[in-house]
Amino acid sequence: MHTTRRTLLAGLAAVALTPGRAAWAATAMPRPPASLMGAVIRRLPTARKVVALTFNAAWDTSGVDAVLTELRRRRLPATFFPTGAFAKARPAAVRAMAAAHGLGNHSYSHPYFDGLSTQERQREILRADTAIRAAAGTEPLPYFRFPYSSTTTDSVADVNDLGYAAIEFTTDTNGYLGPGRGMTVDRVVERVVAALAPGAIIQMHVGSSTGDGTVLDAQALPRIADTVGAAGYEVVDLRDFLVPAGSAPGK
């Protein structure tokens, strides 16, 4: 049987890797269903015309306000995947995300996981959990997104052993590349259109990897929302794909 995230966190208390809220270990929490475990999830297990909007946060906050404002205006859900380092450096941004949306885990320092040991992977994930929890003041989701989408069978197993589902994406908009590397708002939207399918997971970013403050994903979000809706798709919340605490395994 896989060791749960809660059990591992309790066992690692002696080395100061547990979250700040001691009561968490005793709290019943939703968990990923069996359909989200044991593999890298690049599309949600559904035949419905739904898509999930997700945003990584590892750099600056250039697009945070614009993204949150547009999501709020349209009443759309999203899931944000901050790194622990981002959460520690920019807690106000993470709190703003958590006010209306779910927070996943994108590691602490954004390393390639294929080159890490099991213990190093655990430390990255649990340090991030601690930082995200402290910044947001709320319970992070049991969803992990690999830095660079660099996954292996062993690393996915390590993530699952901590109680997380490995949530990747159907397409990355590549908006993070910026105009300097050939991306435009039009091309961002085109990549979303090309990936539309039941259960598609769209990956975007809230920061500027180029450092110039240009966040094409934030600029493209209104058009993405319009395009998804015009194609008959509904934007769904990844929290809807969790199993309530106390449910029988596999449900």
Q: What is the pLDDT of residues 112-131, one digit of tens each?
A: 999 999 999 999 999 999 99
Q: Tell whether 140 is covered by a domain.
A: yes
Mean pLDDT of the chain: 90
Its domain, for residue 110, covers 34-237
pLDDT of residue 29: 78
Q: Tell whether 29 is covered by a domain.
A: no
pTM score, whole prediction: 0.89
Residue 108 clears pLDDT 50, i.e. is over it = yes
Q: Tell whether 7 is covered by a domain.
A: no
Please count the CA atoms within 13 angstroms of the CA of 17 that sit on its side-chain side.
21
Q: What is the pLDDT of residues 8-34, one digit of tens each?
A: 554 443 333 433 332 333 356 799 999
Contacts of residue 3, defined as CB under 8 A and 6 or more positions apart, other chains included, come to: 161, 162
Q: What is the mean pLDDT of residues 137-148?
A: 97
Give how many domains the chain has, as a whole number: 1
Q: Tell whether 18 is covered by a domain.
A: no
Q: What is the pLDDT of residues 187-227, one digit of tens each?
A: 999 999 999 999 999 999 999 887 788 999 999 999 999 99
Identify the sign of the CA torsion 60, 66, 70, 75: positive
CATH of the domain at 195: 3.20.20.370
Q: Tell whether 193 is covered by a domain.
A: yes
Q: Tell whether 161 is covered by a domain.
A: yes
Q: Tell whether 251 is covered by a domain.
A: no
Q: Residue 69 and residue 215: Cα distance in Å, rounded? A: 14
